[in-house]
Amino acid sequence: MQKSILILGACGQIGTELTMVLRDKYGADNVIASDIREGSVNLMQSGPFELLDATDYGAIEDVVMHYEIEEIYLMAAMLSATAEKFPMRAWNLNMTSLFNVLNLGKERKIDKIFWPSSIAVFGPNSPKVDTPQHTIMEPTTVYGISKQSGERWCEYYHKKYGVDVRSVRYPGLISWKTLPGGGTTDYAVEIFHQALEEEKYNCFLNADTKLPMMFMDDAIRATIGLMQSDPNAITVRSSYNLRAMSFSPEEIAASIKTHIPDFKISYDPDFRQHIADSWPNSIDDSQARKDWGWKPEFDLESTTREMLRNLRGQN
Ligand code: SER
């Protein structure tokens, strides 16, 4: 089926991979990548690209009209660690960009929206283990507050204006193609690069800080799977919990050691420890499994294998 798709924030950790998979699926010319900066050579050469600021409604509207865009994936955001340093800039980027796409939906200029939420919507008062879909949230980070507010607005625009907006709460995402930037879970990507380059890693979280995580291939499958689902099957219009695996720095280090026996990890927690402490250890995603058949494929062992294999191949 032909459809015209715009990705905002296409040069980031998720956007880069999502763009390539969507281009494969729907044809390169039908998937317009956009960001405030240019991206990898691969991304830039594989299809159309527009320099676009996700906070500029008029500029997005022009691109939507020009390419007759039907779907928008909004992947531009400031993540948890950076957002603690620039609260107002984070709020402005994360909320203005969301309102821009929601309002394009309300005006019937686009048909469908994907917007990612995060495990950061939960806070210290949420149940830590198998955190349910519906529970106490009370996020204590700037990023989490913006994501929780965003979820409320998504549900509101769906109920009030019939906007077809869909969302998942991503856990920490582990990928080898593009580095993450400014997140608390970034250690789980950095650790692989350092393991290969130096056989050691100094972690900014404590040894036993367990967080929900997911390999990027699973995240992309979840995203596209949800977008392809029958709208009537989607009972959650705020954002779906997703689960793949949970591990701590010492557990991922042990997994890397099975491939690189001399690998050593040390711990020097900084301000990101407080952010991580406020988030769940593991997530209950039974609603996503029931509504649209979500199921992860990668666990810690297969993630470690894929990361090391691909990063070795890159060097
Ligand atoms: N990976 C994100 C972060 O650490 C969570 O959504 O900010």
Same domain, 131 and 206: no
Same domain, 135 and 197: no
Of 169, 201, 234, the one marking the end of a domain is: 169
- Cβ–ligand 1 distance for 242 under 6 Å, the answer no
Number of domains, the chain: 2
pLDDT at 314: 81
Assigned domain for 228 exists: no
The residue ranges of the chain whose pLDDT is under 70 are 1, 315
Task: Tell me, in angstroms, the distance from the centre of ligand 1 to residue 106's CA.
Answer: 28
Same domain, 110 and 199: no
Of 111, 139, 169, the one marking the end of a domain is: 169
Same domain, 191 and 102: no
Closest ligand 1 atom, CA of 79?
7
* CA dihedral angle for residue 53, residue 57, residue 61, residue 63, rounded to 10 degrees: -10
Q: Is 156 a catalytic residue?
A: no
Assigned domain for 259 exists: yes
Assigned domain for 164 exists: yes
- Cβ–ligand 1 distance for 283 under 6 Å, the answer no
Same domain, 142 and 179: no
Assigned domain for 225 exists: no
Q: What is the pLDDT of residues 186-237, one digit of tens each?
A: 999 999 999 999 999 999 999 999 999 999 999 999 999 999 999 999 999 9
Same domain, 201 and 112: no
DSSP conformation letters of the chain: ----EEEETTTSHHHHHHHHHHHHHH-GGGEEEEESS---HHHHHSS-EEE--TT-HHHHHHHHHHHT--EEEE-----HHHHHH-HHHHHHHHHHHHHHHHHHHHTTS-SEEE--EEGGG--TTS-SSSB-SSS-----SHHHHHHHHHHHHHHHHHHHH--EEE-EEE-EEE-SSS---S-STTHHHHHHHHHHHHSEEEESS-TT--EEEEEHHHHHHHHHHHHHS-GGG---SS-EE--SEEE-HHHHHHHHHTTSTT-EEEE---THHHHHHTS-S-B--HHHHHHH-------HHHHHHHHHHHHHHH-
Q: Whose CA is nearest to atom 2 of ligand 1?
A: 183
CATH of the domain at 203: 3.90.25.10
What are the angstrom distances between the C-alpha of 284 and each of 119, 169, 219, 277? 11, 11, 16, 18
Same domain, 101 and 65: yes
Distance (Å, rounded) from C-alpha 275 to C-alpha 47? 38
Same domain, 127 and 184: no
Assigned domain for 218 exists: no
CATH of the domain at 156: 3.40.50.720
Same domain, 145 and 286: no
Domain range spanning residue 56?
A: 5-169
- Cβ–ligand 1 distance for 183 under 6 Å, the answer yes
Same domain, 252 and 128: no
Radius of gyration of the chain (CA): 19
What are the residues facing 207 on neighbouring strands?
Answer: none
- Cβ–ligand 1 distance for 118 under 6 Å, the answer yes
Assigned domain for 136 exists: yes
What residues contact 115, with CB distance under 8 A and at least 6 apart?
74, 98, 101, 150, 154, 165, 166, 167
Same domain, 157 and 265: no
pLDDT at 1: 58
Same domain, 180 and 302: yes
Closest ligand 1 atom, CA of 184?
4
Q: How many CB atoms lie within 10 A of CB 288?
A: 25
pLDDT at 200: 98
Distance (Å, rounded) from C-alpha 142 to C-alpha 94? 10
Of 169, 199, 221, the one marking the end of a domain is: 169
pLDDT at 315: 59
Assigned domain for 254 exists: yes
